[in-house]
Structure 1
């Protein structure tokens, strides 16, 4: 996402002819978009994206389990007593 934001910023600066970006080559201005495509290709191919999604689901499941135990009176706070 960072590469896309940088690319959009550079694109707007080039379009508005703001110095020093106005003098840069279009290849340089558009390169963050290519970097974003390469990053997404690598992340999908290596399983990085899926691992992050699974980690997020596991965290949500653990939080839901803890809330349920607290509601039943068997949570961490009740076990300490």
Structure 2
């Protein structure tokens, strides 16, 4: 998402002719968009996106379970397994 944000900022700077970006050729503005597309393609192909989604869901689930156990008074210190 950071790369997409950078791409959009550069596009706006070029379009409105602000600063030194106004003098850059258009293909320099298009490069970050291409890198963004490449990143998203790689992330989907490699399973990175799915893993991150599963990690977030598991963290929410574990937090919810811990919160519910605390509300029910089921939190007791356990002996670590050896």
Matches of 1:70 and 1:18, distance apart in 2 = 55
Q: CA deviation at 1:25?
A: 0.9
What SS does the corresponding residue of 1:20 show, helix, strand or coil? Answer: helix
Q: Which aligned pairs between 1:10-49 and structure 2 lie closer than 5 A?
A: 10-49=10-49
Counterpart of 2:74 in structure 1 is 74
Matches of 1:37 and 1:29, distance apart in 2 = 14
How many residues are aligned here? 77
Counterpart of 2:61 in structure 1 is 61
Matches of 2:11 and 2:32, distance apart in 1 = 10
RMSD (Å), alpha carbons: 1.0
Matches of 1:36 and 1:71, distance apart in 2 = 44
Which ranges of structure 2 fall in alignment gaps of 5 or more residues?
78-82
Matches of 2:2 and 2:67, distance apart in 1 = 34
Q: TM-score, normalised by structure 1?
A: 0.89
More helix by share: 1
Deviations 1:21-65 (A, max 9, x none): 111110101111111100000000000000000000110110011
Which ranges of structure 1 fall in alignment gaps of 5 or more residues?
none
